[in-house]
Structure 1
């Protein structure tokens, strides 16, 4: 009798497994949840799913806060979810719950981008999709097409466009800000601010408190090898290790303000602080802020938004967005 056990060709444990027949199994991740077009009962935030592009397929979940004025213009947040570029979704429970809380607190119109995931779509697919999504959003500033998204047209303030993300999404936000520094967005829209929460950065040489033993076999290295196997320079590619000789100047970041959040127990903490220092030393002409929460671990505010630490962090993000 033939064996029914499928042969594994590669895996990134405990996240993803790839089989010889080409199928992919995601071993962790929160479940899909539908949007709340009639308002989320806890936050009053409305949400809906839209398609940005059919080729490639890029979609998003849009969020609208409960407004006291029907003609109020809100900041716009283009958000990139975390998950190591290979798990999670804009339509998953964790991100939907978190965006509801952030949108309610910040009073923003949010566009949570559903970019393509590795390994089916290795990097740079996620970067390309995220840039395309930002271009689509900013195309609404001057929109004669009646088929454009009405929430953005009616409620979006295109003088206050922000980008942000957590973990891998924070990495995406950095790289999108770098691209915006050398490429113009539609209608000459400028990025008012970028939020990098626990951003995924790494490199071949340990820094700070990072252990030196088997550094090249650390989970952060394995993630990059799995999601971007063709990256020139490997783990020292500028997309994941933006600091150092020969890298594009961080002074080119295409945003006016930058907020980097780190957590005391996060293995990525030192990289985030190193990045902030490098931006400050680069000649970047915008404002740079660091926000650290002691005693918490990676993406705690997404996993445990009900905690006081998470509520405090979400308030800090809201202050950044609304402080002119």
Structure 2
């Protein structure tokens, strides 16, 4: 038998809101002031600081334009090409200078949580590389954590590389400048971690009809649960301190995973063997005063032990991602010269 609900003539009792519902959301995670996660789960993003006033960034040697490579996720690429299309020091079989330039794919860093081709310092670095290598540079964005945890960034990088052949071969803005047989995939910090995984995914011949001629890893953000000496000795004031690195891990790793995830620890306990990976030539740049220095050195050593053609350069006195943070510095000059020697 159904019970009857008798309506009450008493006025409704108004519940007093609890402190938990009235307190303003507060910051629980902060990534260098660029990304903040609030206590209610809201993610706030802020623009990076502008480039220093008066800094010589765009001197007119390079032209660039933006495009979308993934409309569904609103992901873009910034493409750069030198205005003078002559590849210095690259001569054809008949002794004539080639007019087509190598293609440098670049993934910016940011702990998988921030970073974009539009950041002023990333833009400045790409302008320099396009002008001074010289090369056609394609700087790709990817989805960011914590809104899009890994493997989203790696999936986007794969989509970016699969998008590239059609552009190099058929996009009039690129086709006349870009050499489809000399493609190099690079990145800084987390972007270098992405570049490594693209080396495993595509090797040298997996992007037909393009030929990937090498990979360039600038201070790759390789991690492990077992702390290294360089990690333990990194001061709390460093740009990439243990606290900040652990924050990126919390925000970016798939649920239930730690720093031994195969995407960030190539030689971790759960990582597949790289013995059969056709990665071709690899340039690794490490910094002496960097939390991930020892992981970078270990990567180079273990890849060499597998018979891979890996070249390692350690920059004394430098910190993590120095060439991207100070793209007009003397140290950045040397990185660009190093890359130039590698791609020629």
TM-score, scaled relative to structure 2: 0.79
d(CA) in 1 for partners of 2:84, 2:22: 55
Give the aligned partner of residue 91 of structure 1.
118
The answer to whether the Cα contact below 8 Å between 1:80 and 1:169 also exists between their aligned partners in 2 is yes
The answer to whether the Cα contact below 8 Å between 1:43 and 1:104 also exists between their aligned partners in 2 is no
Matched length = 303
Q: How does 1:35-50 map to 2 (within 5 A)?
A: 41-42=58-59, 44-50=61-67
Q: How does 1:124-143 map to 2 (within 5 A)?
A: 124-140=151-167, 142-143=169-170
Q: 2:282 aligns with which of 234, 240, 258?
A: 258
Q: 2:248 aligns with which of 223, 226, 231?
A: 223
d(CA) in 2 for partners of 1:89, 1:246: 30
5+ residue gaps in structure 2? 1-16, 52-56, 88-97, 235-241
CA displacement, residues 237-283 of structure 1 (integer Å, 9 cap, x when unaligned) = 11111114552222344432100001111111111001001111123
2:232 counterpart of 1:211: yes
Q: 1:174 aligns with which of 196, 218, 238?
A: 196
d(CA) in 2 for partners of 1:282, 1:208: 24
With 311-320 and 60-69 compared, the bigger mean Cα shift is at: 60-69
The answer to whether the Cα contact below 8 Å between 1:79 and 1:165 also exists between their aligned partners in 2 is yes
Cα deviation for residue 231 of structure 1 reads 5.8
The answer to whether the Cα contact below 8 Å between 1:191 and 1:254 also exists between their aligned partners in 2 is no
SS at match of 1:205: coil
Max Rg structure: 2
Give the aligned partner of residue 156 of structure 1.
178
Cα deviation for residue 320 of structure 1 reads 1.0
Q: How does 1:1-324 map to 2 (within 5 A)?
A: 6-8=24-26, 10-15=28-33, 16-20=35-39, 22-26=41-45, 29-31=48-50, 41-42=58-59, 44-69=61-86, 72-140=99-167, 142-143=169-170, 149-181=171-203, 184-185=206-207, 187-211=208-232, 218-230=243-255, 232=257, 234-284=258-308, 287-322=309-344
TM-score, scaled relative to structure 1: 0.84
5+ residue gaps in structure 1? 33-39, 144-148
The answer to whether the Cα contact below 8 Å between 2:143 and 2:156 also exists between their aligned partners in 1 is yes
The answer to whether the Cα contact below 8 Å between 2:224 and 2:268 also exists between their aligned partners in 1 is no
d(CA) in 1 for partners of 2:77, 2:47: 21
d(CA) in 1 for partners of 2:337, 2:105: 18
